Structures are given as structure tokens and as C-alpha cells.
Amino acid sequence: MSLLDPQAVYALWLRDVKRFVRTPSQVAGTLVFPLMFLVFLGTGFSDAALPGIPAGVEYIQYLVPGIVGFTMLFGASFGGATTALIQGSLVFLIAIPLGFRVANPLLLPVVAVVLLLLAVTFVGFGVALASQFSDTQGFGLLIQFIVFPIFFLSGALFPLSELPAVAQYLGRVNPLTYGVDALRGALVGASTYPLALDVLALGVSAAVMVAVGAWLFGRVESV
């Protein structure tokens, strides 16, 4: 059964939902790390004037889209699209009592589209990597080794413009960069690229990652 077969997609989605319902503590446990970033960095640098951050934008406003993006990356690569969307939404809701404010609520549907595209992108990424491993331990170690560079090279915590030129080039080919930038544009009203460009880049990355994941998964099944 192909990964792109509707029945296969539904079966994977249903598995994710059942896993979430049966083990909510495990899902909640994966929120600890992003929430630590949010609480400690968001409050610790609340009054700091960090270079590269747009004028008038508080660090908590700058940080929350990055942490939501990281949650989508981590959750989708390990757990699936549904789990990642739930986790990303929870981080967003928890950020509101910490001082985060949405600049334009009318753009929340755009936020939902961005989150969905991020989930699809990194589910495809996770499937592509998982298809190359016969044991979950090896997959877990490799994906953690890859996830954190993707996170740090996305502008989630600080502007890419403050990094060396090589890091900036790597950031420009990083799908999470455009996801975080799109979330900032829609939620905060401050982005590096036009919102339409961010969404287009995410759409392309989602299509490519799903295609690569399906192809690699199909090769393993045919062996």
C-alpha cells in the first residue's frame, strides 16, 4: 500500500489520534523543552534590545513563533501531523498568559495553513529518515542530531542576519526558516520575507518532502 494512498494516509492519521488519546502524558512530555525555551528566554530577555530584531517588537513576540515552529518540527518528525498540530496550538495558547499578543486576529487562518504545511513537511522528512532505519533507536539519535541544527538555523531564537554568511546561506534553504518567518508575519506583523513567499516556499517544501518520503518508503516496502 502506497504512502500516498488515501487509505494509508487515513490509517496513519488514525494511528496518531489513537496514540495521542492513549498516551497524553507522552505528548505533554514533549512540550517541556519548548516551554523551557519560552519561559526562560521569553522572560529573561523581555527587556533586552537584541540586534536584528525589528524596532518595537518585544523579544517574547519575536520568540513565540520560533518556539511554535520548533514544536512543529520536533512533533511532526517524531509523532505525526496531528500530534504536532495539537502541540503547536498548545504552545501558542500557553504563550498568551506570558505576554504574547496577536497583532491581527484576521490572519489566524493563515497561521493554521502555515502550521499544516510545516506538519506535512516534517512528517515527510521524518518518514524519509525512518525508512532508512530498521531500529527506532538509531532513527531517534539521528533525527535529534539533525533537528537541532535545523532549529538553530531557522531564525527561531535570533535573526539569521546576525549569523556568519555560511549559516545565513544554510538558513535560506531551511524550510523551518520560512515557517517561522510566516508565523511572525501573520502573528506579529514583522517578517523578513513577504508572507506570500513564505507560504509558497513551505508549499514547495511540503510537496518535495512528501514525495521523497513516499519514494524512499516505497523502495523499502518493495525490497
What's the confidence (pLDDT) of residue 211?
A: 87
Q: Where are the domains of the chain?
A: 6-222
Q: How would residue 14 be classed by pLDDT, with cut points 50, 70 and 90?
A: low
Q: Are 87 and 30 in contact (CB under 8 A)?
A: yes
What's the confidence (pLDDT) of residue 16?
A: 63
Question: Could you report the per-residue pLDDT of 99-130, keeping only the tens digit for each?
Answer: 899 999 999 999 999 999 999 899 888 888 87
Instruction: Provide the 10 A C-beta neighbour count for residue 18.
Output: 10
Percent of residues, the chain, with pLDDT higher than 70: 79
Instruction: Report the alpha-carbon distance of residue 72 to residue 77 in Å, rounded.
Output: 8
Furthest-apart CA pair in the chain: how many Å? Answer: 57
What does the block give as the cell for 33?
523543552
Is the pLDDT at 22 greater than 80? The verdict is no
3-state secondary structure of 50: coil
Question: Could you report the per-residue pLDDT of 142-175, keeping only the tens digit for each?
Answer: 777 888 899 999 999 988 988 889 999 999 999 9
Reading phi first (left if > 0) and then psi (alpha if -120 to 50, else beta), residue 101 is in: beta
Q: How would residue 4 be classed by pLDDT, with cut points 50, 70 and 90?
A: very low
Four-residue CA torsion sign, 105, 98, 61, 205: negative
What does the block give as the cell for 86?
495539537
| Sequence-ordered list of residues with C-beta below 8 angstroms from that of 128, at least 6 positions apart, any chain | 209, 212, 213, 216, 217
